[in-house]
Amino acid sequence: MRLLGLYNYWVVIVLMMVGFYTIIARDNLVKKLIGLSIFQTSVFMLYISMGRIHGGTAPILMEGTDVVYSNPLPHVLILTAIVVGVATTAVGLSLVIRINEAYGTVEEDEIHSQDESL
Amino acid sequence: MDAVIDIALLALLAVTALAILRMRNLFAAVMLSGIYSLLSAGIFTALDAVDVAFTEAAVGAGISTVLMLGTLAIVGHKEKKPAHTPLLPLFVVLVTGGALVYGTLDMPPFGDPTNPVHHHVAPRYVEESGHEIGIPNIVTSVLASYRGYDTMGETTVIFAAAVGVILLLGGARPARVAAGEVSGGSEEGSEPLEEQSHG
């Protein structure tokens, strides 16, 4: 049970590291942004996992006094984070489009070599 | 049963993330990231976060997939094979991951109601929001009332992002394209960009 208690967190770390690796090891800028969104979602998963209570239910009030609700606070924080995450992704994609317009490529190493040849 | 669903969905999620990493065709990677968002919406439902689940399904699987596809239509969907060996990134990622795993060993166990996170303000929201705000959904009460300023800040961020996107892709473009035409050079990508601004 102890191992199962950490399973969620470990999968979150695996996802986080896959996203991180995509960001630092891939040259394609769109791929980097996909990696960034994988990373973001893993953080959401971490928060939501912490808010969960065994035997609890969604935090929507029901009749009866002995109902256990999961913690609503992480849900609120992550709702905000999801929307902000998409907003930043949109800005990042616009930057990629402008970079493509200026350099004719979205591969980072080609952009660097163009900069150096100037 | 809850645990089985949780374990299965999280395992699928990890497989999807690895598939995205390995995929050279960016179109397929973007579709997989839509699947990734949908799977995480399923996990959020299993973890009782229903509001987060439908936001993730609408915004993560819907809007961001559309944005990525729109970008791919302009920049092309083939990823080049990386020229350098990924040893250094792999090392950095493994060390960071190892440090994080070491950090989780001190985490309170998943789902325990005595965890510190469930103590401070959360019980008050659960107990009082029903008659203080009068909305059965506690998440809505906190989002729109107790933490209304946070939501206003969020709106500011979205506004700033919208202004940024408009400045990057909107207003300045006709002048730039016109300048390209004057100098006689047909700039790459100017045509699809115009199409996008109409769509």
Find the CATH number of the domain harbouring A111.
Answer: 1.10.287.3510
Give domain status of residue B13, yes or no. yes
Q: Which domain holds residue B9?
A: 1-84
Residues of chain B with Cβ-Cβ distance to A98 below 8 Å are: 168-169
- For residue B125, pLDDT over 80 is answered with yes
Q: Looking at residue A85, what is its pLDDT?
A: 92
**Regions of chain A with pLDDT less than 50:** none
Q: Looking at residue B196, what is its pLDDT?
A: 43
Place of tokens 């930057």: A95
- φ, ψ for residue A53 (rounded to 5)? -120, 130
Give domain status of residue A62, yes or no. no
Q: How many angstroms separate the CA of residue B199 from the nearest CA in chain A?
A: 15
Give domain status of residue A58, yes or no. no
CB contact under 8 A, B64 and A107: no
**Facing residues of A107 across strands?**
A28
Give domain status of residue B160, yes or no. no
Place of tokens 């990134």: B89
Contacts of A64 (CB under 8 A, 6+ apart): none
Place of tokens 């950090």: B103
Give domain status of residue B58, yes or no. yes
Alpha-carbon separation of residue A82 from A43, A59, B7, B64, B77 (angstroms): 10, 19, 23, 11, 25
Give domain status of residue A19, yes or no. yes
Give domain status of residue A60, yes or no. no
C-alpha of B35 from chain center: 12
Q: Which amino acid is present at B46?
A: A
Q: Looking at residue B92, what is its pLDDT?
A: 93
Q: How many angstroms separate the CA of residue B157 from the nearest CA in chain A?
A: 7
Give domain status of residue B33, yes or no. yes
Q: What is the CB-side half-sphere exposure of residue B192 using CA atoms within 13 A?
A: 13
User: What is the predicted ipTM?
Assistant: 0.90
- For residue B49, pLDDT over 80 is answered with yes
Domain count, chain B: 1
CA–CA dist A95, B165 (Å, integer): 8
**Predicted confidence (pLDDT) per residue in A24-39, tens digit:** 988 899 999 999 999 9
Q: Looking at residue A58, what is its pLDDT?
A: 86
- Reference B139, options A116, A55, A7, A74; nearest CA is A74
Picking from A6, A7, A42, A49 by the largest number of B CB atoms within 10 A of its own CB, the best residue to mutate is A49
CA–CA dist A22, B103 (Å, integer): 23
Q: Which amino acid is present at B173?
A: R
Q: What is the dihedral of CA A51, A53, A54, A60, to 10 degrees?
A: -100
Give domain status of residue A11, yes or no. yes
- For residue B35, pLDDT over 90 is answered with yes
Domain count, chain A: 1
Give domain status of residue B21, yes or no. yes
Q: How far apart are the first and last CA of chain B?
A: 46
Rounded mean pLDDT, B104-132: 83
Picking from A39, A82, A105 by the largest number of B CB atoms within 10 A of its own CB, the best residue to mutate is A82
Q: How many angstroms separate the CA of residue A46 from the nearest CA in chain B?
A: 10
**A23-53 per-residue burial string, b: 16 or more CB within 10 A, e: under 16:** bebbbbbbbbbbbbbbbbbbbbbbbbbbbbb
Q: Looking at residue A3, what is its pLDDT?
A: 61
Mean pLDDT of chain B: 82
Picking from A2, A12, A14, A68 by the largest number of B CB atoms within 10 A of its own CB, the best residue to mutate is A14
**Predicted confidence (pLDDT) per residue in B164-199, tens digit:** 999 988 865 554 444 444 444 334 444 444 444 443
Give domain status of residue B186, yes or no. no
Q: Where are the alpha helices (DSSP H) in chain B?
A: 2-22, 26-46, 50-55, 64-75, 87-104, 122-132, 138-141, 148-169, 172-182, 190-198
Determine contact: B102 vs chain A, CB below 8 A.
no
Q: Which domain holds residue A93?
A: 2-53+69-117
Q: Looking at residue B190, what is its pLDDT?
A: 41
**Predicted confidence (pLDDT) per residue in B62-88, tens digit:** 999 999 999 999 888 888 877 677 889
- Reference A44, options A18, A4, A8; nearest CA is A8
Q: Among B92-96, B160-164, B166-170, which is the least confidently predicted range?
A: B166-170
- For residue B2, pLDDT over 80 is answered with no
